[in-house]
Amino acid sequence: MQLLDQIRQNVQKFGTDHHSVQIDAVEVQPTKKDHEGDVTVVVFPLLRFIKSNPADLATALGEYLQSQIDEIKAYHVIQGFLNLIIDDVYYLRFLSDIKSPESFGIKPVTEKSKKILVEFSSPNTNKPLHLGHIRNNLLGASVSALLTAAGNQVHKTQIINDRGIHICKSMIAWQKFGNDETPQSTGEKGDELIGRYYVAFNSEYNKQLEELMNDGIDEEKAKNQAPILLEAQDMLRKWEKGDKKIHELWATMNGWVYDGFAQTYKQLGVSFDSYYYESDTYLLGKDIVDEGLSKGVFFKKEDGSVWCDLSDDGLDEKLVLRADGTSVYITQDLGTAVLRYKDHPKMDGIVYTVGNEQDYHFKVLFLILNKLGYKWASQLHHLSYGMVDLPSGKMKSREGSVVDADGLMAEMNKTAENIASSLGKLEGLNEQTKKELYQQIGMGALKYYILKVEPTKRILFDPKESVDFNGNTGPFIQYTYARIQSILKYGGDMDDNIAIDIPLDPKEKELIKWLELYPQTIQNAALQYSPALIANYTYELVKRFNSYYQKVVILSEEQALRQFRVRLASQVGFVIQSGMQILGIQCPNQM
């Protein structure tokens, strides 16, 4: 049992034994740096259960805890806070008891583990992945790794938006302007080629719109009369009717895009266990509408459209089926949610990784599923996140001003090369090793910069700032890990047994205390779906190690002390690597 749990249980026992009350919640936290002590019990909330003044209660509680727990060496009472001083032996034993440092803090996945499906990425097949997709993918992949580390069985999936008018726009433009070019003939990635024709469509559309308006046609009417738009709409109708030639072209062009996506995912370090396609699911949900009508959850208006009245829940009426019988997005999402639970009948939850502009949509979706009587609706979670901006401003895909993922990753690698070279960080390494390190540093910088921010917050992404070798950045953490590997290289063989009579330096004690928090940090981060907690925990661990490293001697100490300090450095390295793996970041052995 961890010491914090022992303290909580004994505080509860103190309340029961001495005051005939049951104290359910006991707040125990690390002691603040400017106060003497290791662990602090917050006494004020206990005054609701135990009639006393804060100082007297803290003193009585301190005496009781010291008598019950061997590891508590002394205590101090400061303004209603009980600061406990823990014997060094406890921390030495804690470090010695970690027999499998590679899995420290990681809860094993078993047959009884919760089964969670995480949906992320879900791109359109009319353009490459861009900066916004990068945050989505990094969050989805990292949350998947985080939930797995917390002991859950995780299934990663996405639904690809592979149909609709936006797809037909790229297809029409390619037919009109493409001259049968392919990724092979141009040397382009398939998604980039298709994205170029999506931009070409909108360029031609705007040209035709201007011509119509110059002929005296009202702007709103002109928007619906542009010939190229009418061609795209006609193509969509033919696709929905199963036109063979249109479907063949659609399959070919989507195939180019999938090949391009696969290359981007590989460089980004992202993978999936299954795929859903909107072309297979867009008709789903109509039977659920019939079910909702029969249950009185939905109602039909005079024009034949079907709605759900959510006014009693503080929301508006929501359209679930158009008057012409065609679906809307909420209809498809209702059907897809039910399909996923049929595909994964023992699933314990779904996490939807989607930007915060869809907050209302998912609130409505989950509410309607609940009203329809699906008990698993309470297990659905929307992992909402803010947008990513660049210093140059907002991206616009129709105008071709989007920062695509491939270009950004290439820029990150180049930025890493320029900064590392100017600092002389990689002198003496061969060119192949340098190239691999630039990629690891560049991708580490990108991923860490995005994931260290709480998902709900908007990000202004600065590539150069993210590759700084100092401060709260990926390269700073990677460099510290490489430093630890250098220590281990010259530290000799480590003994599994640590002498428990070694006097701890205050910074050693602080470092071990921080290590002890790692398992609970993983659980807390998983509960909050927040890789940012892992990122910032790892940064704080690195700061503490660097402060420790600057103060103490490691390799030239006598054997017992050297063995202990090398073991401590090794464990810090494992936790850094573990935290960074959850974030999808590689830790180089040398930098």
pLDDT of residue 398: 43
pLDDT for 529-564, tens place per residue?
999 999 999 999 999 999 999 999 888 888 888 889
Identify the H or E element spanning 190: helix 190-214
Measured in whole angstroms, the distance separating CA 454 from the mean position of its chain's CA atoms is 9
- CATH of region 3-86, choose from 3.30.1360.70, 3.30.70.20, 3.30.70.270, 3.30.70.260: 3.30.1360.70
Alpha helices in 69-100 (DSSP H): 88-96
Domain map of the chain by residue range?
3-86, 115-294+326-389, 295-325
Helix (H, G, I), strand (E, B) or coil at 532: helix
With residues binned 3-state (H G I as helix, E B as strand, rest as coil), the percentages for the chain, rounded to 5, are 55, 10, 30
pLDDT of residue 212: 95
pLDDT of residue 396: 46
pLDDT for 337-356, tens place per residue?
999 999 999 999 999 999 99
Using alpha carbons, select from 380, 349, 352 the residue that is nearest to residue 140: 352
pLDDT of residue 399: 45
Residue-level pLDDT, tens digit, the chain, 591 residues:
477 788 888 887 886 665 555 566 678 888 887 888 998 998 888 888 788 888 988 999 899 999 999 999 999 998 879 999 999 989 988 888 887 888 999 999 999 999 999 999 999 999 999 888 999 999 999 999 999 999 999 999 999 999 999 999 999 999 999 999 999 999 999 999 999 999 999 999 999 999 999 999 999 999 999 999 999 999 999 999 999 999 999 999 999 999 999 999 999 999 999 999 999 998 899 999 999 999 999 999 999 999 999 999 999 999 999 999 888 999 999 999 999 999 999 999 999 999 999 999 999 999 999 999 999 999 999 999 999 887 765 444 444 456 789 989 998 999 888 888 887 777 778 889 889 999 999 999 999 999 999 999 999 888 888 888 888 999 999 999 999 999 998 877 666 666 677 889 989 999 999 999 999 999 999 999 999 999 999 999 999 999 999 999 888 888 888 889 999 999 999 999 999 999 999 999 988
pLDDT of residue 18: 57
CA distances from 35 to 32, 42, 77, 543 (A): 6, 14, 11, 20
pLDDT of residue 479: 94
Residue with tokens 């989007």, as numbered in its chain: 402
| Same fold yes or no, 3-86 and 115-294+326-389 | no
Side chain identity, residue 169: K
pLDDT of residue 495: 65
pTM attached to this predicted model = 0.90
The CATH fold of domain 115-294+326-389: Rossmann fold (3.40.50)
Using alpha carbons, select from 460, 464, 466 the residue that is nearest to residue 387: 460
